[in-house]
């Protein structure tokens, strides 16, 4: 069995309708499974962190990254996607 590939997806920006719906729609289109999620709104600022399984053969990581970046521009929020192994390596002491 192939090892699971994970990504860390972060969304940050002014709260508005449709952020979660549009981001999760794109994840569904790329056959991405959400493993863990945390979302909060503080003083009108929306933030969400997702841990996602991007192992599917239907998930082209670069195209997913671009689709989410494009949607972030459309929604006027910042969306960052990082492979979890890179994220974890950057945050180890």
Pairing, β 77-83 against β 6-14:
antiparallel
Q: Output the pLDDT for position 87.
A: 55
Q: pLDDT tens digit string along 43-86?
A: 999 999 999 999 999 999 999 999 999 999 999 999 999 987 66
Q: Output the pLDDT for position 59.
A: 93
Question: In 1-93, where do the E strands start and end?
Answer: 6-14, 33-42, 45-53, 77-83
Please give the Cα distance from 52 to 64 (Å, whole number): 12
Q: pLDDT tens digit string along 14-38?
A: 999 999 999 999 999 999 999 999 9
Written as six digits, the tokens of 71 are: 């949607």
Question: How far is Cα of residue 68 from the mean position of the Cα atoms in its chain?
Answer: 7
Give this prediction's pTM: 0.86
Q: Output the pLDDT for position 90.
A: 60
Written as six digits, the tokens of 77 are: 């929020």
Question: At which residue do the structure tokens 């959400």 appear?
Answer: 34
Q: Output the pLDDT for position 84.
A: 77
Written as six digits, the tokens of 58 are: 């239907």
91 pLDDT more than 80:
no
Q: What confidence tier does 3 reach under pLDDT thresholds 50, 70, 90?
A: confident
Rg (CA), the chain: 13
């Amino acid at each position: 069995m192939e090892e699971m590939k994970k990504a860390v997806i972060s969304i940050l920006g002014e709260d508005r309708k449709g952020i979660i719906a549009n981001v999760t729609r794109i994840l569904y289109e790329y056959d991405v499974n959400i493993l863990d999620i945390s979302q909060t709104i503080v003083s009108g600022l929306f933030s969400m962190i997702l841990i996602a399984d991007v192992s599917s053969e239907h998930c082209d990581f670069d195209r997913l990254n671009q689709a989410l970046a494009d949607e972030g521009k459309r929604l006027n929020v910042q969306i960052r996607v990082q492979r979890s192994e890179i994220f974890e390596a950057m945050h180890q002491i």
